[in-house]
Amino acid sequence: MNRFNLKDLTLILFIVFSVWSSSFENCCAREGRQYWRQSSKAVPASVLVKKPKGYNHAGRRMLSSAIFNVLDYGAKGDGQTDDTKAFEAAWAAACKVEASTMVVPSGSVFFVLPITFSGSSCEQNIVFQLDGKIIAPTSSQPWGSGLLQWLDFTNLKGFTIKGKGIIDGQGSVWWGDSGNMPSTKPTALRFYGSDGVTVTGITIQNSQQTHLKFDNCKTIQVYDINVSSPGDSPNTDGIHLQNSQDVVIYSTTLACGNFKFLSRV
């Protein structure tokens, strides 16, 4: 009566195996959560990041943590050295990785000549993390006979520029009658031919002319940004919309010398 028959032994082994299996699954789940937290840390720019297979678009975006800091590409951030090539190199690297982040770090001032950040060969959902300060040239030579844009972002899909940083056009040299600068004044920050653009958190100030412009774009969000220039600065419009649709702008401060907001079809 006290003996175990084969059926009893089988039942005991089944129960033991079930308990062990459950403990193993819980352990793996804890390790898995730890792995995901670690994967959210920055990946050095020198590391080759491959897009994971078998994930949907949102899944890939969550997994990507590639960081491309302009300082790692030779930027000095001293406010005097030309950092344009470093910005170009960091952008080219970030473009190869979907949902990567190009970082302009805080605590530095970056002198950047007129530049185009083209998305023609870019992956989607690139983030431009602006926490430092970018300043424009104040001499006439970089502008030639006149340019329409200073910082130009084109043909992007799912692009975000965010942070607590500043874009400073240093436009006072354009506002006077010194005659040293070209008659054609550039827009400080322009987006062209892009879909799914978000601009948030940043400050755009002292533009040479218009501060922020969207041309031939769609699905745009602008919020929590500051746009400012002196009240007597000529034609320093806040935001221009041209041939663009599905635009939402809210929680934004516009304090500039001319039209705060202008929309053209």
pLDDT of the residue at 133: 98
Res 231 pLDDT > 80? yes
* 3-class secondary-structure state, position 73: helix
Name residue 91's amino acid. W
Contact indicator for 219, 195 with CB cutoff of 8 Å: yes
Q: Where are the domains of the chain?
A: 1-39, 57-264
pLDDT tens for residues 48-86? Answer: 333 343 333 334 444 557 999 999 999 999 999 999 999
What is the mean pLDDT of the segment spanning 112-141?
Answer: 97
d(CA 20, CA 221): 51
* Contact partners, residue 187, CB within 8 Å, separation at least 6: 148, 149, 150, 207, 208, 209, 210, 211, 212, 213, 240
Architecture of domain 57-264: 3 Solenoid (2.160)
pLDDT of the residue at 178: 61
What pTM does this model have?
Answer: 0.75
What is the mean pLDDT of the segment spanning 224-236?
Answer: 92
pLDDT of the residue at 6: 52
